[in-house]
A = this chain, B = another copy of it.
Amino acid sequence: MRTLKYAILGLLSKGPMTGYDLAKEFNVTLVEFWTAKHSQIYPELAKLVSEELVTYEIEISGEVLEKKVYSITNKGKESFLKWLNRDEPMEQTPKDVFRLRMFYSNYIDVTSRIRMLEYQLKQHEERYLYLSDTKNNFKEIPPANSHEFGSYLVLEGAVMRESTTIEWLKNCINHCKMYK
């Protein structure tokens, strides 16, 4: 599916960037729905250059350090927009190790289950607070053609997702406590 390819082309659509910058974007801005390590990004960039979807210029930082600043080409923009406009069927539900554990929870005692659930709950509550705070930085819904529009949509989705996960974990804890 080459999704990383399009994720990179999308980021470069906003402006030129180095591989290092891209890695940061994946670990900060996009972390709620896509990630990539630098070890995957650098080879992918090389491939995109060979496909003529991006080009790069070498920029000297300080005295000698060479930075490769990548830009999207017209061919790259075309490829990106074609991908973006496709109507793709719903993906399979993502794998979830914790849900797998809970599926098998009858094999462990109720006290342990509650301990595990509380541990997850704590972490999701922290994540929820962080995401809500970020969302509250938006005073209003950004215009549909601004770069912030997409950010707002996915952030709203992330907040809702965490909120539901928290609610589910609390339900699970209650179901367990009923039998304690």
Which residues of A approach B to under 8 Å, CB–CB?
A: 1, 3, 6-7, 10, 13, 30-35, 80-81, 84-85, 87-108, 110, 112-113, 115-116, 119-120, 123-124, 127, 141, 143-147, 149-154, 156-158, 160-161, 163-164, 167-168, 171-172, 175-176, 178-179
Contact = CB atoms under 8 A, between A and B. Distances in A.
A160 B164 contact: yes
A99 B168 contact: no
B104 A13 contact: yes
A87 to B, nearest CB: 5
Contacts of A13: 104, 107
A74 to B, nearest CB: 14
| Copies of this protein chain in the complex | 2
B147 A106 contact: yes
A106 B33 contact: no
- The dominant DSSP class at the A interface is helix
Given A93-B31, A99-B32, A153 B105 contact: yes
Contacts of A171: 156
Nearest to A113: B144
Given A33-B93, A123-B90, A124-B90, A100 B168 contact: no
B160 A100 contact: no
B120 A90 contact: yes
